[in-house]
């Protein structure tokens, strides 16, 4: 659904490429996560893909068609959830949704959309009086209000409290179940791990690592087990592969002294730091 | 057509909910009434002004015409400020449609307002055809102002400053009637020079249509250049 090959982009007047030869593929019904430090080019990559920025090099395709060959009809196929809230502040939430929806042939019920993210009570409130999180939730539902096949979400959970963030993630998973293809950027590695089929770590416009979260966690993790006991402040470390023959481990289990047990596969936070660190 | 209706409805909401924009929108009829009633009183108290009727007419008409340009430019500035411009750019219709329709409306309303000022206020009547032609020229100030402000001003505070500056520039050629003929031509680098001189010659029953022609082309070229700049700077990236 989304395909890039050796994609380069340079802002007019900038000294260096902001997107520096990236290649990736997002299949139908997949969630693809673009991760990476602030300023690494995540939003820029998205903007190139939905044609807000022009003048790229290499190939970028949506549904098998090069971006430059798409006209305005592209925008019926895709939905965009911007990084920063953008609404008419003098219009109400409902008016905002209805206004933008009127330019599409298809549309979900605006009130239903507001309900999904807990904004039904604020439907008739001017968006100028919304908090940041409320604006972001409105941004989010607007992105798929015209029921597009492909979604670009730029930090959809930023500025949200844990419960609202949970609600959003459930909606994203639900959209995936409906068969939507989603390109998402986020700084929350837990979210990426939970949502994404594949993640790419971007640093200075280059993809440093691309794989599924499961594979990455194994690749970067240590095959060890860390056990903490009531008796000691120091954890005891065991080798996972030797565990079944490890007498001291079995004794520890039977002793009833165990406080916590953790296998030490890497989490995406560690991988983020390891892959995107600047040399 | 349905989309046009949606756009108009939306813009009206945006204007009505903004005190500044609403008052600027309502200013033209207020100005027309004020000039209609105040000019005779003014001329009576200071009879010398009788000779300057056409100057008062120029001034009154330009002040009336510019308001719609201002309103349009502020609608666009708001969209830039609130980042809505990005959403407009990813709609399945051309974002330019948004802008062009507003420019067209602003031009039409400015023309009507200027025409009303010229013909209804009895300050200085230039003749029927001339009044229509003048109204067209005055109307062309609207897209000029809208585009200049919305392209170059970064925010509404800057926009207001630009508006005052542009207002002053547009009025400046009135000075050409008070200086010697050699110096007068200096003001011809401003488009309203041609408007005002067309007004003046028409009022004195010797309409010089070349003033109209040059003014019309001047505004036409200016608007095209500004449209090009707007496209590049606001829609460009
Ligand atoms: N309009 C612009 N003109 C010039 N340079 C820009 C522009 N927008 C972004 N950049 C530069 O491009 C680089 C990448 O920016 P981008 O917004 O893509 O980062 P990001 O990965 O989305 O960061 P964040 O996580 O903070 O959102 C930055 O160095 C930024 O300064
Ligand atoms: Mg970003």
Percent of chain B surpassing pLDDT 70: 99
Q: Is residue B3 very low, low, confident or very high in pLDDT (cuts 50, 70, 90)?
A: confident
Summarised one tens digit per residue, pLDDT across range B141-192 is 999 999 999 999 999 999 999 999 999 999 999 999 998 778 888 999 999 9
Is A276 a member of any domain?
no
Residue B237's pLDDT is 46
Is A40 a member of any domain?
yes
A11, A34, A278, best to mutate for ligand 1 pocket (most atoms within 8 Å of CB):
A11
Question: Based on the structure, what is the number of domains in chain A?
Answer: 2
Contact A207, A4 (CB under 8 A): no
C-beta of A188 in contact with ligand 1 (< 6 A): no
3-state secondary structure B26-85: HHHHHHHHHHHHHHHHHHHHCHHHHHHHHHHHHHHHHHHHHHHHHHHHHHHHHHHHCCHH
* Co-location of A212 and A249 in the same domain: no
Contact B66, B167 (CB under 8 A): yes
Task: Identify the CATH number of the domain in which residue A48 sits.
Answer: 3.40.50.300
Residue A279's pLDDT is 58
d(CA A257, CA A259): 7
| Whether B14 and A88 lie within 8 Å, measured CB to CB | yes
* Co-location of A226 and A209 in the same domain: no
Residue B54's pLDDT is 93
* Co-location of A198 and A83 in the same domain: yes
* Co-location of A84 and A155 in the same domain: yes
Residue A21's pLDDT is 93
Is A51 a member of any domain?
yes
| DSSP-assigned letter for residue A92 | B
Q: Which two tokens stand for residue A257?
A: 């002294």
Summarised one tens digit per residue, pLDDT across range A158-187 is 989 999 999 999 999 999 999 999 999 999
Residue where a domain terminates, one of A217, A246, A272: A217
Q: What is the Å distance from ligand 1's center to A39 Cα?
A: 5
Measured between alpha carbons, how far is residue B137 from residues A30, A152, B128, B148 in Å?
Answer: 57, 46, 15, 17
Residue A266's pLDDT is 81
Is A213 a member of any domain?
yes
Residue A111's pLDDT is 95
Smallest CA–CA distance from B234 into chain A, residue: A52
Residues of chain A with pLDDT under 50: none
Q: Provide the residue range defining the domain that includes A18.
A: 2-217
Listed range (A252-256, B69-73, B202-206) with the worst mean pLDDT: A252-256
Q: What is the Å distance from ligand 2's center to B86 Cα?
A: 14
* Co-location of A158 and A258 in the same domain: no
* Co-location of A65 and A166 in the same domain: yes
Compute the average pLDDT of residues B191-207. 93
Is A278 a member of any domain?
no
Is A82 a member of any domain?
yes
ipTM: 0.86
Residue A137's pLDDT is 96
* Co-location of A157 and A238 in the same domain: no
Is A279 a member of any domain?
no
Is A248 a member of any domain?
yes
Residue B97's pLDDT is 84
Radius of gyration of chain B (CA): 18
Burial (0-12, 13-18, 19+ Cβ within 10 Å), B1: exposed
């Amino acid at each position: 659904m989304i395909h890039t090959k050796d994609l380069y982009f340079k802002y007019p007047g900038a000294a260096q490429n902001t997107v520096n030869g990236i290649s990736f593929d997002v299949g139908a019904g997949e969630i693809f996560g673009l991760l990476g430090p602030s300023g690494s080019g995540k939003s820029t990559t998205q903007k190139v893909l939905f044609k807000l920025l022009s003048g790229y090099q290499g190939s970028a395709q949506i549904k098998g068609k090069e971006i430059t060959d798409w006209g305005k009809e592209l925008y019926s196929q895709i939905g965009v959830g911007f990084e920063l809230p953008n609404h008419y502040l003098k219009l109400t939430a409902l008016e905002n949704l209805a206004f933008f929806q009127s330019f599409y042939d298809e549309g979900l019920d605006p009130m239903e959309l507001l309900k999904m993210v807990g904004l039904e009570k604020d439907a008739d409130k001017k968006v100028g009086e919304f908090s940041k999180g409320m604006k972001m939730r409105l941004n989010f539902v607007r992105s798929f209000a015209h029921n597009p096949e492909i979604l670009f979400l730029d930090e959809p959970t930023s500025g949200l409290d844990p419960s609202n963030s949970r609600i959003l993630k459930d909606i994203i998973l639900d959209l995936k179940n409906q068969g939507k293809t989603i390109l998402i950027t986020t700084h929350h590695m837990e979210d990426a791990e939970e949502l994404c089929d594949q993640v790419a770590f971007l640093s200075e416009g280059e993809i440093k690592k691309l794989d599924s979260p499961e594979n990455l966690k194994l690749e970067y993790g240590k095959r060890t087990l860390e056990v903490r006991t009531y008796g000691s402040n120091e954890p005891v470390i065991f080798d996972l592969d030797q565990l079944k023959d490890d007498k001291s481990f079995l004794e520890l289990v039977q002793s009833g002294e165990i406080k916590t047990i953790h296998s030490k596969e890497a989490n995406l936070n560690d991988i983020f730091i390891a892959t995107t660190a600047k040399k | 057509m349905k989309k046009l209706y949606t756009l108009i409805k939306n813009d009206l909401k945006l204007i009505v909910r903004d005190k500044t924009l609403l008052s600027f929108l309502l200013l033209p009829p207020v100005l027309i009434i004020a000039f209609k009633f105040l000019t005779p009183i003014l001329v009576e108290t200071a009879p010398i002004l009788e000779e300057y009727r056409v100057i008062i007419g120029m001034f009154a008409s330009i002040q009336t015409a510019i308001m719609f340009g201002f309103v349009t430019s502020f609608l666009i500035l708001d969209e830039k400020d609130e980042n809505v411009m990005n959403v407009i750019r990813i709609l399945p219709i051309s974002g330019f449609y948004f802008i062009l329709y507003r420019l067209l409306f602003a031009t039409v309303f400015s023309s009507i307002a200027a025409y009303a000022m010229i013909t209804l206020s009895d300050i200085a009547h230039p003749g029927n055809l001339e009044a229509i032609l003048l109204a067209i020229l005055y109307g062309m100030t609207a897209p000029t102002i809208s585009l200049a402000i919305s392209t170059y001003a970064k925010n509404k505070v800057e926009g207001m400053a630009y508006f005052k500056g542009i207002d002053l520039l547009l009025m400046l050629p009135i000075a050409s009637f008070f200086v010697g003929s050699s110096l007068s031509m200096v003001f011809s680098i401003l488009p309203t020079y041609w408007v005002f001189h067309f007004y003046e010659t028409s009022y004195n029953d010797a309409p010089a249509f070349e003033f109209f022609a040059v003014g019309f082309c001047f505004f036409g070229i200016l608007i095209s250049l500004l449209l090009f700049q707007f496209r590049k700077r606001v829609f460009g990236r």
